[in-house]
Amino acid sequence: MAKQRQVRMEQRGALAAMQALETKSDDELLRETRFKAAAQAILGARAAERYDADAARTHFRTAIAAARPQERLQLQRMANASLALAERRPDDLKRAVQALGQEAPSNRQLFLLRVMGLLAPPKNASTAIKARSFALILAIVVGLLLIGLGLVLLISLPFGGGVGIGGGLILGFFLVILILAVLAFWGRRKQRKALAARGTAKVK
């Protein structure tokens, strides 16, 4: 019983260390020696958020090697979730997050990750997958240009519809860019609000 209590205290200590280290910069985490496993795990998670699977894998290997035996299973689960994110594997990400005992990503988040996997596959993807990604991006660009052209022609109808195809494509391009910029701004604003709400909930 005493040994089990000691293990639980050590696990809580590692978790507390990880929470305390989250505010440190990458350079500070790289220099961390006392809680090396926690620091490397945070670096691995950050690399996964940048979709850098190779760096994430390297950091988690170092973290697991530096960790206590009773911490390695949880770190391996964290590594599985982070690598699934970095490599755009939504189904594996859902299972890995559930194995951590956390709430699985929403269907919308998993869908966006799946779309990202189609448009921006990981570095180790095959040539065929990369070619498919290029073709999809090209098709989306052409589709957006046609949508922009259609909107410009529709808007110009009350004014006599004097816009030609060439001019319509140019105006449509800028119109689509404007719409995407507004959507990106709105999405980032919504994300900042969600992060702020999450931070407030943690403090409470």
Per-residue confidence (pLDDT) for residue 130, from 0 to 100: 79
With a CB cutoff of 8 Å and minimum separation 6, the contacts of 99 are 77, 80, 81
The phi and psi torsions of 29 (rounded to 5 degrees) equal -70, -35
> Where among 47, 69, 104 does a domain terminate?
104
Per-residue confidence (pLDDT) for residue 119, from 0 to 100: 78
Clarify whether residues 17 and 92 are in a common domain.
Answer: yes
**Residue 89 has what DSSP assignment?**
-
- State which residues form the domain around 158: 127-203
pLDDT in tens, 164-204: 677 777 777 787 788 777 777 776 776 666 556 554 444 44
Clarify whether residues 14 and 74 are in a common domain.
Answer: yes
Clarify whether residues 95 and 46 are in a common domain.
Answer: yes
CA distances from 25 to 52, 173, 179 (A): 17, 40, 35
Residue 111's pLDDT band (cuts 50, 70, 90): confident
Average pLDDT over residues 106-126: 80
Residue 76 maps to a domain = yes
Counting the structural domains of the chain, the total is 2
Residue 199 maps to a domain = yes
pLDDT in tens, 51-62: 899 999 999 999
Question: Residue 68's closest CA among 37, 34, 97, 103?
Answer: 37
Residue 119 maps to a domain = no
Clarify whether residues 8 and 97 are in a common domain.
Answer: yes
* Residue 45 in this model has a pLDDT that exceeds 80: yes
Distance CA 176, CA 146 (A): 10
Distance CA 146, CA 152 (A): 10
Clarify whether residues 131 and 99 are in a common domain.
Answer: no
Clarify whether residues 131 and 42 are in a common domain.
Answer: no
Clarify whether residues 7 and 94 are in a common domain.
Answer: yes
Q: Is 198 helix (H, G, I), strand (E, B) or coil?
A: helix
Per-residue confidence (pLDDT) for residue 23, from 0 to 100: 85
Clarify whether residues 85 and 134 are in a common domain.
Answer: no
Residue 98 maps to a domain = yes
Per-residue confidence (pLDDT) for residue 187, from 0 to 100: 66
Least confident residue range of 18-22, 41-45, 61-65: 18-22
Per-residue confidence (pLDDT) for residue 143, from 0 to 100: 84
Residues 84 and 57 sit within 8 Å (Cβ to Cβ): no
What is the share, in percent, of the chain residues with pLDDT greater than 70? 80
pLDDT in tens, 128-151: 877 887 888 888 888 888 888 787
- 168 versus 73: the higher-pLDDT residue is 73
Residue 109 maps to a domain = no
